[in-house]
Amino acid sequence: MKNILLFSIFIVLFSCTLEEEMQVEEEISTITQSISITGNSVLDFCDNPSGNYDFTIEVKTEDGLQDIKDFTGTSSEDANLETTVTGNSLEVLIQLNNFDLADASNGRGSGYDDIVFNYLGHNNDILFQENLGSLFICTDSFYELIYTFNFEDNTSNIEVKIHGF
């Protein structure tokens, strides 16, 4: 009888522990993080004025697409994206849309300058900041940037696609 009672208590304790662990895992996967990507649209890189700029910022995590924003215009201005995401790892893709491998004059002089990634706390205080550089279309073009960031250990990686005409 003692063995049955002890076994029953063990089963109850074990099942409660599993339920608690599942609940904690669920809470961890739904934690939201605030980020911002800031910079300036530019029309006169490489002393070659462009008529317009056109670029996209796309934000993804392991939970899928979190945010996407297109920036277009005919005058230099601040171009910022602030958003909240779920997940532990982040990928930001910034792409100059008017870059054309076959046409060096398309979008020449346009770009996105002084790009900065910020991981923000609850009061919008900066917990982590990284300068991502610039994207531009010139003789040497830096036309796409892929930035990855891990919220658990604050590690990051920057990959830039470059083309020379």
pLDDT digits 0-9 by tens, 44-84: 988 878 888 999 999 999 999 999 999 999 999 999 999 99
Q: Is the pLDDT of residue 9 over 80?
A: no
pLDDT digits 0-9 by tens, 83-131: 999 999 999 999 999 998 888 888 899 999 999 999 999 888 999 999 9
How far, in Å, CA of 24 to CA of 83, rounded? 25
Per-residue confidence (pLDDT) for residue 47, from 0 to 100: 83
Q: How many CA atoms lie within 13 A of 35 on its CB side?
A: 28
Please give the backbone phi and psi of residue 28, each rounded to the nearest 5 degrees, phi first. Answer: -65, -40
How far, in Å, CA of 152 to CA of 161, rounded? 27
Per-residue confidence (pLDDT) for residue 16, from 0 to 100: 52
Q: Is the pLDDT of residue 20 over 90?
A: no
- pLDDT class of 13 with cuts at 50, 70, 90: very low
Query: What is the domain partition of the chain in residue ranges?
Result: 1-30, 32-164
Please state, as a whole number, how many other Cβ atoms lie within 10 Å of the Cβ of residue 14.
10
